[in-house]
Every structure is written in structure tokens, then in C-alpha cells.
Structure 1
């Protein structure tokens, strides 16, 4: 018998920009991670649009089509929020409300349809215990550029220096702006932002559920904080979730965040990110 567990929790900032979709009637599940534009439109807009579209009745629309329509809706809402310009192309990339998504549809023919973009992840565990990352985090390498600059800035300051508004504006914000302006290009990373280009960079497909035991969807807020920088932290996170469960993973992340409340040991931009996850036992 199928068992589904989930985590949905706000981080250290006032607004939760994650969403979780548990549409059991349609066998459709997703985690959505909204991202606020830099001095722009809140990420909650994008996350809400994608999550609402995922709630469509079963059997009427394919998963990929749902995401495409949701992206079109997001484009119109970004334009409206920015000031009624003619098209999404008139809204600067850095101002747009955007989101990553990891969505799956369990089909009657024992296949799995999936759509992913951004830094939300999908993992598959087989009956022999082996784990497969079905998706790739394209965002991490760009976050690392800004985090390395943050570390360098702290090292230059005597006794270490916490992130403050001045450091952000002078050292970090220009990097974040540069990263944002590369959205949905071959030099950047994929994300849903309401543009046609976003659809060109979706990771989507179908997987036969042969000997599959469990499925895992995670937003990056449930990723174990990474102090090693070895690129394997996502797989370590998935192994932890499959071994101990989502609640235990959440508690472990909490513990690491509390032990490093100044974000020095595990460099990050905020003490705690929004957290969303779905674990499905088939």
C-alpha cells in the first residue's frame, strides 16, 4: 500500500515561498521553490501559480502541459505586477517572480512522468537500496559564486564579519544581478519566470517504475548544509531522507542551522530556508 509523507515549513524570513502539492486523486505531487526578484516581485507569486495549476483534476491534462500553462500564467502576472508592460520581455529578469519545481505524475501504465527546473530535486530509490538522482541542480554553481565572494569579504575583515546591508550591496548584489540576467540562457540556469525561453530549458521525461521502491522530491531548503564543497551533498541528503525519513532530515537540517546561526561554517544567505519535501513509498 502506498504511503506518502511530506514536509512544508517556513524558513527564517516572514514569507514562505515554497509550496507542496499532494494531489492524491490525480497521483500528482510537487515541491515548488519560489524566488523573489532582486528588489522585485515576491517569489510567492510564482510558487502559488505553479501549485494552483497542479491541482487540476486527474486525467485531463498531461504534467508537462500543466507546467507550460502555469508558466504562461506566471508571465502575465509578472507583467501585471511590474506595471502593465506589453510582454514579459519588458520585465527585467532580475525583477521577475520565479520558481523552481520538481513535479511528478504516477501513471496507470506504471510509468512516472516528471518535470523539473531550478534547484528542486527528484530522487528514485530502487528495491536493492540504490539511489538515482533523476534531476540536476543547475543553480548551485551560481550560488557558489556569490557565497565565495561573501567568504572572501569576511576573511578580509578582522575577526570575521557577518553579512550586513553594506556588504550585500557592494559585494554580493552585483553577482546576484549578473546571475539573474543569465536566466534561461546557455550561460545561466533554468527557472520558471513566465518567459517562452523557460520552456526550452525544462528537464522532463518519463521513467518506467521497474523495481522502484520510493520517490523523493525536495526543495533546496531541505538540503543538508554543505561545509565540504565536494558536490555530493544532494546524494548525501537523499540517502539520509531514504534511511531516516523526511522528519528526521528536517530535524537534522534544523540542528545544523542552529549550530551555525551566523552562517559561517555552512555559508548561506539566511539562517533557514523554506523547506518542502515529499516522500512516496510505492
Structure 2
């Protein structure tokens, strides 16, 4: 079940990606994962708003849609881990500027006409996540394929999720109103840009080319070709050694805007 999604709202000039948070306990709500339910609710909100709305307001409405979704299923919230969750990165294009909002580890890159690549948000490296996954894989071989996670791991995950949307923690869409003060937001100029690239963390520099070469190759080859290549590399690494990850194929979503 792919918990990632793209946002395409041409009427409002809003574009981006959403990354549902996978439940490592295998929880399903009416045969759909909580991460996908969060993603679907957020995608629908971003794609239904009209041009008059600000991106910040659209972002906060999208977050509120998760709370509505949880209430529809009478989900009891005793801890942040109990919430449906996703992260996002979206832009709203204007004539000379773009607004952006993002949370957790979804990424926005800008590419100038001189091919200079800048990572707007977040201050994040795919290696951080890979290192965490590798640690658990080495300590508990086959842990992500097992039906039951070690108590130590569950406690570590729950402790991490308890910092969601609080000072010093991380931002994540989960229906909590505290998200409205924690997500990334801002603007950047469009005048000297040739492209904007928006990705979830599953769409990354798998060849370790470096940011500049990776983005240039992606623009040259196209998103579909890069997607197929990344899946092929993951299939070759079926033991998840070279690219530590939870699933055989890490969920992926990307939007490339050509200006």
C-alpha cells in the first residue's frame, strides 16, 4: 500500500508531495493503514482549495482534515503515536514568488537557470534515517519483517513520536493544533529559477552522486526513469544492506515543476 501521494491543484497553483507515516505495528483501519488515511485526507484538502486561500491556511486545513478523519473512526488519542500521521511539502506559485510549507523530512529544492541547486527545506539528510534503520536491523536481524517488534524498539519509537509538534521536536501533520506553530513556511523568488523539485524521503540520491549531479540527472532523465532506476536498485539490494529501509521499496513521490 503506497502511503505517498502527489498534490496537483492547477486552479490554485498548489503542487507538492505527501508521505504517510507507516505504522510499524501493522495497524489497519478498515483495511487501510493510518498513514494512507492521513495522506488521502491531506491530498483531498490541498486539491480542493481555491486560488483565494493562502498556503498557510490550506496547510492548516489539511492538518485539521486528519483530526476529522480520526473522529469519524472514533480513534482514541492517548499519545501522539495513536494519531494518523503524514508529512508534506507543497508550494503555491505566484507571478514572482512562491510560498512553501513543509513538515518532517519532505524536501523542496530550487534549481536556478545556472543549474545551482538549493535545498530549501528541511535541514535533513537521508543518511540520518538510513543510519537509524541500519542500527535496528543490525541489533535485531529481520526486525522489520517480524510480526512483533522488541519492547526496546517500541519504546524508542513512542518516545520519538512524543516530541511531535513541540519545541525541540519535529513537525508532522497529525491533526494536532500544535502543528500550526511547528511546520516550516516561507517564500522564495521565482525570477531566476528553471525548476522546483519536491520529493518525499523515498526519492533520494540513491547513487550518491551528490546533490548537484543527482538533481541534474533527474531533470535530464525525468521522474519516471529515475523512479524505475531506484526500484531496480532496491530489488538488487533485497537484503536491505546497501540502502537500509523498512520496506522492500521505500514509498516514493516527487513533483518536478518547470518554470
- The answer on 1:100 being equivalent to 2:94 is no
Counterpart contact for 1:79–1:91, Cα < 8 Å: no
The TM-score with structure 2 as length reference comes to 0.85
Q: Is 1:208 aligned with 2:189?
A: yes
Is the deviation greater in 244-253 or in 44-53?
A: 244-253
**Do residues 34 (structure 1) and 20 (structure 2) align?**
yes
| Cα distance change on mapping 1:233 and 1:172 into 2, 3 Å | farther
* Structure 2 unaligned blocks of 5 or more: none
User: CA contact under 8 A between 1:224 and 1:233: conserved in structure 2?
Assistant: yes
Instruction: Compute the TM-score of the two structures, normalised by the length of structure 1.
Output: 0.79
Given the superposition, is the C-alpha separation of residues 234 and 167 from structure 1 closer, same or farther in structure 2, using an over 3 Å criterion?
farther
Q: Tell me, yes or no, if structure 1 residue 186 matches structure 2 residue 186.
A: no
Distance, in Å, in 2 between the alignment partners of 1:186 and 1:207 is 25
| C-alpha separation in 1, matches of 2:128 and 2:78 | 22
Q: CA 1:176 to 1:258, structure 2 compared with 1: closer, same or farther past 3 Å?
A: same
The one-character-per-residue Cα deviations of 1:33-75 (angstroms, maximum 9, x if unpaired) are: 1114454561111111111111235422111101111212212
Report the counterpart of residue 162 of structure 1 in structure 2: 142
Paired residue for 1:158?
none
Structure number with the bigger relative contact order (C-alpha 8 A, sep ≥ 6) is: 1
**Paired residues, what number?**
252
Give the deviation of 1:145 after TM superposition: 6.2
Describe how 1:110-129 pairs up with structure 2 within 5 A: 110-129=96-115
Q: Does 1:275 align with 2:256?
A: no
Quote the residue 2:237 is aligned against.
260
Shift of 1:237: 4.4
Paired residue for 2:42? 50
Instruction: Give the stretch that moved more between structures: 139-148 or 167-176.
Output: 139-148
For residues 16 and 144 of structure 1, do their structure 2 counterparts lie closer, same or farther at Cα, with a shift above 3 Å needed?
A: closer
Alignment of 1:175-254 (within 5 A): 175-225=156-206, 237-254=214-231
Query: Structure 2: how far apart are the matches of 1:210 and 1:257?
Result: 38
Q: 1:98–1:104: structure 2 CA closer, same or farther, 3 Å change rule?
A: same
Match of 1:21 in 2: 7
CA distance in 2, matches of 1:204, 1:149: 32
Cα–Cα, structure 1 residues 44 and 209, in superposed 2: closer, same or farther, change >3 Å? same
Instruction: Report the CA distance between 1:269 and its aligned residue.
Output: 1.1
In the alignment, the residues of structure 2 paired with residue 36 and residue 152 of structure 1 have an alpha-carbon distance, to the nearest angstrom, of 20
Aligned ranges 1:48-87 → 2 under 5 Å: 48-83=40-75
Q: Which runs of 5+ in 1 are unaligned?
A: 1-14, 155-160
CA drift at 1:138: 5.2
Q: Is the 8 A contact 1:37 1:95 kept in 2?
A: no
**Maintained 8 Å contact 2:4/2:20:** yes
> CA RMSD of the aligned region, Å?
2.6
